[in-house]
Structure 1
Amino acid sequence: MTAVFAVPNEDGTMSEVKAELDKRFATHDEVLAFLDKCKGSTFTVAGIVKKPMKRTPAPPFTTSTLQQEAARKLGFTVSQTMMVAQHLYENGRITYMRTDSVNLSSLCINSSKAEITSLWGEEYSKPRQYHTHSKGAQEAHEAIRPTYMDATSIDGTQQEKRLYDLIWKRTAASQMADAQIEKTTVTIRLSDADEQFVANGEVVKFDGFLKVYRESSDDEADGQEDTSHTLPPMTEGEQLQRSEITATQRFSQGPVRYTEASLVRKLEELGIGRPSTYAPTISTIQQREYVQKGDKKGEERQYTVDTLKGNAITNRTKTEMAGNEKGKLLPTDIGIVVNDFLMKYFPAIMDYNFTAKVEQQFDTIAEGKAQWTAMLENFYKKFEPTVEKTMNTREEHKAGERELGTEPATGRPVFVKIGRFGPVVQIGKAEDKEKPRFAQLPADKSMETITLDEALELFRLPRTLGEYEGTPVVIGSGRFGPYVMHDKKYVSLPKTENPLTVTLDTAIELIRNKRQQETQRHIKTFEDEPKLEVMNGRYGPYLAYDGKNYRLPKAMHDKAAELTLEECMNVINNSKKK
């Protein structure tokens, strides 16, 4: 519950103070009873506490923190961050980018001090040496930092410039003074109730490292705003004028799904992997389609808002989308099935502690305190029998397979399972006289939740929507998902469209868009050489000749449509010589 109070200023104007009630109510009746008390209450400033605080800069980047911060601030994937950092390292711009150390060399600390003093003054400089506290850190390299701190910017691609700027600012901030902040807490007492409103405000007295850098958090990435603000002058005992009090219904939330950045942090917390393995691990689970990065649409939910303004209490019902998630790692049906299988047959291997323990054993081997052969022998003594036992296990249903019921017309069983190209619905069994029928599971359906009726609907495909230009327009489903077929040409159906409900008009629009894209791809053809064509690709114009592609020099890009046959053949012949 929040309240807005009006506070008079010295110049006669009014300022607003927003405050939160120090209690939450469980029922709507309790809310209405409290608002009714507030109608006749006076609101008095019961206490003002001013407390000096300081904020300390974060340490310079490790691999893990660079991946997390680049994801939050720049929108980079973990793999993208490592690729760009690799280029910066190869070009001598930054130190080695695979490290779990936060240590900086004395050279960097001294050069940072000189640069900070030069740019902002001596009061902003505070040399610091950081120490790594994470369990199992190898500290084989320095923290990730610019090679030369006096290079505040670099030449390069836009991505390289942005990542370098992030690294430079984080390194500089780590060697700067604390930010000095005054936090003010104002307690507002009600005359007719025991509850109190509390207003918080902050004033930055000295910005210190905040002049250069503010660390992000996952809360910011999920759209949660910083609610701290400055407060107008108030005195203890002062009566405040109530503008309005608003009570908003809120619901408890389950744990949010991982982003790439938060998954990296969790891997580090659990001691799973090393700086060099975070990016490959996250890339691999996406490449194998165990998870996919995407958005999850929430469910529409109603909530109530009660507002006291003057002496009138108004009640409104609002609608929100609960559980909306963007850019999260979502488990796929294949991923769920694989995970369930491994958890059932290999629980010891799937235990987080197992991976962390193996990492510790690797460290012991690296230190020369243990033999690697003994470690592997001990592992295989337990692992090999488990594999043999699992291989010989025969189950009535394969992993992930779920029977939904029977097809009314034939009485044949209907079930979902993992097929060669992903989740499918199957009618009938392989041993039946009549061959089984298959339908690809759409992206918006899950093996765990699909019903029999929804599964049977999928067998309505292929279906003919109508005609366009005298040729049938057909919706079908194949290895790569649903598609539109027209005149022996195929157009993929977007994930936002349901193949069972898509209209003819939408299908025609997709066909036209595909044709337009194809037209834009073909820049020029040559009557004297039908095998040659000037094409427009993802990275600009290129030549297609006799089944092979040839890159055009950048100088020719702007005049690609005017190129002669002789000029094109010269490019091809020169490429062949190389």
Structure 2
Amino acid sequence: VFTARRTMALAQQLYEGLDVGEGTTTGLITYMRTDSTNISDLAMEEVRGFIGKTYGRDFLPEAPVVYRTRAVSAQEAHEAIRPTSVLRLPEKVKPYLTTDQFRLYQLIWQRFVACQMESAVYDTLSVEVEARGQSHLYLFRASGSTLKFPGFLVVYEESRDEDLAPEEETSNMRIPAQVAEGQRQELVRLIPEQHFTQPPPRYTEASLVQTLEENGIGRPSTYAPILSTIQERGYVVRESKRLSPTETGILVNDLVVEHFPEIVDLGFTARMENDLDLIASGHEDWVGVLRRFYDTFSPQVEKARAEMPERKADLEKVGRACPECGHELVIRWGRFGKFISCSNFPACKYTEPWLEKIGVACPKCHGDLVERKTRKGRVFYGCVNYPQCDFTSWKKPLATPCPNCGGLLVLANKREAQCIQCQETFLLEQVAETVASEPS
């Protein structure tokens, strides 16, 4: 999986140029920090000629296809991201590129060619089956489609066949051709299912960038730094490709929303981007823009400085005395989450890490296992007696011992547990405790 930062780094390499057997360094794509959908006349002429010659006239629209950007405040000084020449086929330059460089170049090349081709055409068939009970009428519906004309899909055909699993290729429902209107059907099997309204899924890097773009927040040049910053500061962590807020992130968000509601409003960032565009075009004076901003921002800062220290009174007490000065130990929040500190700070600077016990004994020394975090916010599990005991695990330990040898079980995946001693794996439902309810 490519992160936004990794993708931008690869795109930079393709843009700056590589040796692809042409005797000199060759830039393979146009400028990549853009949200424009414009295509130059020369590039349009080249790609339309390529489509007609390679795939035939049926795949070529009568006129060039023009797209409008979804971004609220797109900067269109540059062209859309495209290959510098559509004639540099992905397979032709593949021997000169790394695997990741090739995958990104192939994606850009395919998207550029596909965007100027005819649409795919499907024949869709829907069947409704009426089932009458003693007191109720039930309606079952099934839909299936057959590809009639591939259109732009022909560009993706080869790579799709390689990448898709067999079950994904055949996921489209096939309806028998013999089905006729009014025909009686036999119920072979009834599969009862119940569905509930699900909350929206957590953001991935891709879906977060899409939301930023749709709300006019940031620019293509700032998306990758935004995503890197919120992860490096420990505001969010990546869990199974999705971004989850940390306790630090939630606390920072609550404080900023409380004291600077206008600044964190979606509309503020979009308006600021628009003001910057007006300054760049000469329609607005930058001094006036800054003056208007600070006239409201400065009083908010002073108010926050005065009110935020009052939160010291809300500090949670640990129930122990500081070993250095005897004052009460309290829980504070730092960049990487909770930590224990002396209530006499800054006079006393004693601190110790906050360790969240998980209710499992250490397999080495039988002390408590606790949840810890790396400096980048990744969760791991270790012994409370560190550094005397060096046991650690990236996978969450479970309270139930191994049915085979009594060793420590860890959560291998959403459905299985594995013993770290005998390496045997077990389905969670086979484990004696209600381990299946453990958070993944």
Q: Give the alignment's TM-score, normalised by structure 2.
A: 0.73
- How far apart in 2 are the matches of 1:206 and 1:137? 34
Find 1:173's aligned residue among 98, 103, 114.
114
Provide the rounded CA distance (Å) in 1 between the counterparts of 2:279 and 2:349: 56
Structure-1 residue corresponding to 2:427 = none
Residues 1:105 and 1:490: Cα distance change in structure 2 (over 3 Å): farther
Corresponding residue SS for 2:344: coil
Q: Determine which structure has greater relative contact order: mean sequence separation of CA pairs < 8 Å that are 6+ residues apart, divided by chain length.
A: 1
User: Quick one: structure 1 residues 83 and 109, their matched pair in 2 at CA, closer, same or farther if it must change by over 3 Å?
Assistant: same
Aligned to 1:137: 74
Contact 1:115–1:149 under 8 Å retained in 2 = yes
Aligned counterparts of 2:7 and 2:395: Cα–Cα separation in 1: 30
SS of aligned partner of 1:195? strand
Whether 2:4 is the aligned partner of 1:78: answer: yes
Alignment of 1:113-192 (within 5 A): 113-126=48-61, 128-133=64-69, 134-153=71-90, 154=93, 155-192=96-133
Q: Does 2:430 align with 1:494?
A: no
Q: SS of 2:191's equivalent? A: strand
Contact in 2 for aligned 1:476/1:499 (Cα 8 Å) = no
Q: Distance in 2 between matches of 1:347 and 1:123?
A: 55
- Structure 1: distance between partners of 2:170 and 2:280: 45
User: How far did residue 395 of structure 1 move?
Assistant: 4.3
Which residue does 1:285 correspond to in 2? 230
Number of equivalenced pairs = 375
C-alpha distance in structure 1 between counterparts of 2:52 and 2:335, whole Å = 63
- What is the aligned partner in structure 2 of residue 257 from structure 1? 202
In structure 2, relative to structure 1, the CA distance for the partners of 1:164 and 1:339 (3 Å cut) is same
Answer yes or no: is the 8 Å Cα contact 2:233–2:335 preserved in 1: no
| Residues 407 and 414, structure 1, Cα contact 8 Å, conserved in 2 | yes
Relative to structure 1, the CA distance from residue 271 to residue 474 in structure 2 (aligned partners, 3 Å threshold; closer, same or farther) is closer
Deviation for aligned residue 1:489: 8.8
1:273-352 mapped onto 2 (5 Å cutoff) = 273-294=218-239, 326-352=240-266
Provide closer, same or farther for how the CA distance between residues 365 and 436 of structure 1 changes in structure 2, counting only shifts above 3 A: closer
**Aligned residue among 326, 332, 335 for 1:417:** 332
- SS of the residue corresponding to residue 135 of structure 1 reads coil
Letter in 1 for 2:181: E
Contact 2:60–2:117, Cα closer than 8 Å, also in 1: yes
Contact 2:143 2:173 in 1 (8 A): yes
* Partner AA of 1:341 in structure 2: L
The aligned amino acid for 1:403 is E
What SS does the aligned partner of 2:267 have?
helix
Change (3 A) 1:231 1:487: closer
Q: Which amino acid aligns with 1:465?
A: C
Shift of 1:497: 4.5
- Cα 1:417–1:488 change in 2 (3 A) is closer
Supply the AA of the counterpart residue of 1:376: L
Q: Say whether 1:465 aligns with 2:400.
A: no
Cα–Cα, structure 1 residues 224 and 346, in superposed 2: closer, same or farther, change >3 Å? farther
> Letter of the aligned partner of 1:102 in structure 2?
T
Structure 2 CA distance for partners of 1:369 and 1:197, relative to 1, 3 Å: same
SS of 1:276 mapped into structure 2 = helix
1:112 paired with 2:47, answer yes
1:415: Cα distance to partner?
5.0
Q: 1:183: Cα distance to partner? A: 1.0
* Offset at residue 204 of structure 1 (A): 0.9
What secondary structure does 2:220 align onto? Answer: coil
Q: Amino acid of the residue matched to residue 201 of structure 1?
A: G
- Alignment match, 2:175: 231
Secondary structure, aligned partner of 2:304: helix
Output the CA distance in 2 between the equivalents of 1:245 and 1:274.
Answer: 51
Three-state SS of the structure 2 residue aligned to 1:417 is strand
SS of the residue 1:208 aligns to: coil
CA distance in 2, matches of 1:189, 1:505: 56
Letter in structure 1 aligned against 2:174:
T
The corresponding residue for 1:15 is none
Amino acid at match of 1:179: A
How far did residue 147 of structure 1 move?
0.8
C-alpha deviations, 1:223-259, integer Å up to 9, x for none? 9999642311211111111111211122221111100
Q: How far apart are the structure 2 equivalents of 1:196 and 1:489?
A: 67
- What residue in structure 1 maps to residue 150 of structure 2? 207
CA distance in 2, matches of 1:486, 1:353: 49
Q: In the TM superposition, what whole-angstrom CA distance separates every residue of 1:46-77 from its partner, at most 9, and x where no partner exists?
A: xxxxxxxxxxxxxxxxxxxxxxxxxxxxx210
SS in 2 for 1:465: coil
**Contact 2:29–2:84 (CA<8 Å) still a contact in 1?**
yes
Change (3 A) 1:185 1:479: closer
Offset of residue 145 of structure 1:
0.7
Answer whether contact 2:355 2:370 (CA < 8 A) is retained. no
Contact 2:246 2:337 in 1 (8 A): no
Within 1, Cα distance between the matches of 2:251 and 2:264? 14
Distance 1:136 1:505 in 2: 58
Percent of matched pairs sharing the same residue: 36
Q: 1:501 to 1:374 in 2, by over 3 A?
A: farther
Tell me: CA distance 1:199–1:374, structure 2 relative to 1, closer, same or farther (3 Å). Answer: same
Identify the range of structure 1 (144-153 vs 128-137) with the bigger mean alpha-carbon deviation: 128-137
Which residue identity lines up with residue 205 of structure 1 in the other structure?
A: K
Distance of 1:119 and 1:292 partners within structure 2: 46
Helix, strand or coil: the match of 2:126? strand
- Mapped contact 1:464–1:475 kept (Cα < 8 A): no
Task: Encode CA deviations 1:247-298: one digit per residue, 9 max, x unaligned.
Answer: 112222111110000000100111111111111111111111111112xxxx
SS in 2 for 1:212: helix
**Based on CA coordinates, which of the two structures has the bigger radius of gyration?**
1
1:198-231 residue CA offsets vs partner (Å, 9 max, x unmatched): 1111011111111123899xxx9xx999964231
Bigger strand fraction? 1
In structure 2, distance between residues paired with 1:501 and 1:375: 62
SS of residue in 1 equivalent to 2:33: coil
Change (3 A) 1:354 1:173: same
SS at match of 2:185: strand
Shift of 1:437: 7.1
- Structure 1 residue 94 corresponds to structure 2 residue 9: no
Report deviation, 1:149. 0.6
Q: Give secondary structure in 1 for the equivalent of 2:114.
A: helix
User: For the residues of structure 1 that align with 2:348 and 2:297, how far apart are their CA atoms?
Assistant: 42
Q: For structure 1, which runs of at least 5 residues remain unmatched after alignment?
A: 1-74, 295-325, 443-453, 467-472, 511-578
Alpha-carbon distance in 2 for matches of 1:421, 1:487? 19
Q: Is the 8 A contact 1:425 1:441 kept in 2?
A: no
What is residue 197 of structure 1 aligned with on the other side? 140
CA offset at residue 496 of structure 1? 2.2
Change (3 A) 1:334 1:122: same
Distance across 2 between alignment mates of 1:479 and 1:438: 14
Give the alignment partner of residue 392 of structure 1, picking from 300, 306, 314: 306
CA distance, structure 2, for counterparts of residue 225 and residue 407 of structure 1: 61
- Structure 2 letter corresponding to 1:110: E
Q: Which sections of structure 2, spanning at least 5 residues, go unmatched? A: 18-26, 322-326, 375-379, 409-418, 421-440
Counterpart CA distance in 2 for 1:501 and 1:187 is 49
Aligned structure 1 segments of 4 or more residues deviating by more than 4 angstroms = 223-227, 404-408, 412-415, 433-437, 473-492, 497-506
Q: Do 1:104 and 1:129's aligned partners in 2 also have CA atoms closer than 8 Å?
A: no
Aligned to 1:393, the other structure's residue is in SS state: helix
Measure the CA separation in 1 of the matches of 2:310 and 2:81: 53
How far off is 1:403 after superposition? 2.5
